Amino acid sequence: MPLATDINLKNTIEMKVHELFELSEVNKALILTETDLQCHLYMKLNEINDLSEISQTDDGFLTNKIHTEISWFSDNNADRLSIRPDITLLEPQNLKITSGFNGTPLPSKGLHSVDGGIIFELKFDRELRTISEKTFEGVVKDIRNFETIYNRFSANSLGNWIYGYFILLIKSSNTRNNIEKINRIQHELSIRGLDESKCKFLYHFIGMN
C-alpha cells in the first residue's frame, strides 16, 4: 500500500505535528530558524515506528522512510530536478539507489523511486507582528510545486500515490491580519483543487507578542 494512502499513518503524522506545535508554544525559543523546524519535525517523525524502522531497498540496501531535500522533476519534461521539498517519506521497497527500475538510467539525485510517498514543505515566519509577505509568497510557491508533482502522478492515474503537507509555524499571534493571510493560503489551495484528499495545510501561532 502506498504511504500516501495509509490513513492511520497520516493521522499519526498529524498528531506528531501538533505535538511539535504545542512544544514550540511552551518553549518559545525552541525553534529559531526554518532548519530548526525541519530538524525537530524529523525527530518527531522518527518517533513513529513505521517510519523509523530500517528495511531493504529494492536493490538490497538498508534505510528508513524519512529523508530530507529529495529532488523532484519539474513539469517542463526536461531532466531538471528543480523541486526540493524539505522532507519526503519514501517506501524503501519501492526505492533503488544503484540503478533505475526497468533499466532506466539512475537520475542525478542518486535514487529512483516508483512510489510517490508523502512530502512536507515547511515555513517558519519570524516576524513578531504579522506573517510576512515573503513567507506568504513562499507558501504559495510550495503549493505550486506540489501541484506540479501531483499533476505528474495524476496524469498517469497515480494521483493517490502522492500526498503533501504544508506546515507553517508563526512566531506572532492570531491577529485579524494574520487570519486574513491564512485564508489567502487556503484560497490558493482551493482554486487549485488541492483539497484534503490530496494535501493538508497545518499552521500554528506561537504568540510571541
| HEC letters along 148-207 | HHHHHHHHCCCHHHEEEEEEEEECCCCCHHHHHHHHHHHHHHHHCCCCCCCEEEEEEECC
100 — pLDDT class (breaks 50, 70, 90): confident
Q: Cell match 527500475: residue?
A: 101
Say which range, 56-60, 104-108, 190-194, has the weakest mean pLDDT.
Answer: 104-108
Q: Are strands 162-170 and 199-205 parallel, antiparallel or unpaired?
A: parallel
Q: Which pTM value belongs to this model?
A: 0.94
Residues contacting 29, CB < 8 A, separation 6+: none
DSSP H or E segment with residue 67? strand 66-68
Q: pLDDT tens digits, residue range 143-164?
A: 999 999 999 888 888 779 999 9
Is residue 1 over pLDDT 50?
A: yes
Calpha distance 138→141 (Å, rounded): 5
Average pLDDT, the chain: 91
74 — pLDDT class (breaks 50, 70, 90): low
Over the range 78-104, which residues count as b (16 or more CB within 10 Å of their CB) and which as e? eeeeebebbbbbbbbebbbbeeeeeee
